[in-house]
Amino acid sequence: MIVKNPKFEISAVSKKQYPSKGIPEIVLAGKSNVGKSSFINTLINRKSLARTSSEPGKTRQINFYNIDEKFYFVDLPGYGYSKMSKQEQEKVGKFIEEYLFSRENIAKILLLLDIRHKPNENDKLMYDYIRSTKRPYLIIANKADKIAITKVDEAVQEIRQSLNLSDKEIVLPFSAERKIYSDSVWKNILIGVEKQ
């Protein structure tokens, strides 16, 4: 898809701050530093609309990016960022849960994983949680530029096995750094937008 006019719309930490336009929402979930904000920038061809950092813990609120009035990319704070205080982690966890569980507009949840690593305990918890919301979801194996192209299929298979995925569940490789595999990712996102 060619995005013409992506805009940051609002940061939210509670329901009353969510946008009220009623357009579908494509949500980015995953551990800190896995590349959720970079993913958005890469797909929409903007260098830094979503704020990114090599330090984990950059995104601290729920950020809504309006994509040509067609849908929102919703950038969530990452989990597993140990430098955040326990109290702060709990607070962030609660508003993420509230959003994921109550928001009617969610068209699809994208769980980002690092293609180089097996999902850890937190990733597994998030995966289970996403399933429990009964929303459509898609797993993205990001940072595919970090491994040899000949190893990509194998790495995807390992992720599938460690999450015990069925044939119906989709895992797509991606690289926010090099913008490879973006066609199939766009296709899958747009199916979600249209279905909502």
Binder among 88, 98, 145, 158 for ligand GTP (CB under 6 A): 145
77 lines the binding site for ligand GTP (CB under 6 A): yes
Residue nearest to ligand GTP (CB): 78
59 lines the binding site for ligand GTP (CB under 6 A): yes
Q: Are 25 and 72 spatial neighbours (Cβ–Cβ below 8 Å)?
A: yes
Site string for ligand GTP, 23-42 (x = CB under 6 A): -------x-xxxxxxx----
Shortest distance, position 161 Cβ to Mg ion, whole Å = 28
Kindly determine how many residues on this chain lie close enough to bind ligand GTP according to the rule CB under 6 A.
24
88 lines the binding site for ligand GTP (CB under 6 A): no
Q: Which residues pair with 29 in a beta bridge?
A: 111
What number of other Cβ atoms are within 10 A of residue 193's Cβ?
A: 18
Site string for ligand GTP, 99-118 (x = CB under 6 A): --------------------
48 lines the binding site for ligand GTP (CB under 6 A): no
Shortest distance, position 90 Cβ to ligand GTP, whole Å = 16
Query: Out of Mg ion, ligand GTP, none, which partner does residue 173 contact, by CB within 5 to 8 A per kind?
Result: none
Residues in the chain: 196
142 lines the binding site for ligand GTP (CB under 6 A): yes
3-state SS, one letter per residue, for 143-166: CHHHCCHHHHHHHHHHHHHHCCCC
> What does the buried/exposed string (b/e) look like for 83-117 if buried means 16 or more CB atoms within 10 Å of the residue's CB?
ebeeeebeebeebbeebbeebebbbbbbbbbbbeb
3-state SS, one letter per residue, for 19-48: CCCCCCEEEEEEECCCCHHHHHHHHHCCCC
Shortest distance, position 65 Cβ to ligand GTP, whole Å = 12
Single-letter amino acid code for the residue at 3: V
The phi and psi torsions of 97 (rounded to 5 degrees) equal -60, -45
Residue numbers at the binding site for ligand GTP (CB under 6 A): 30, 32-38, 52-54, 56-59, 77-78, 142-143, 145-146, 175-177
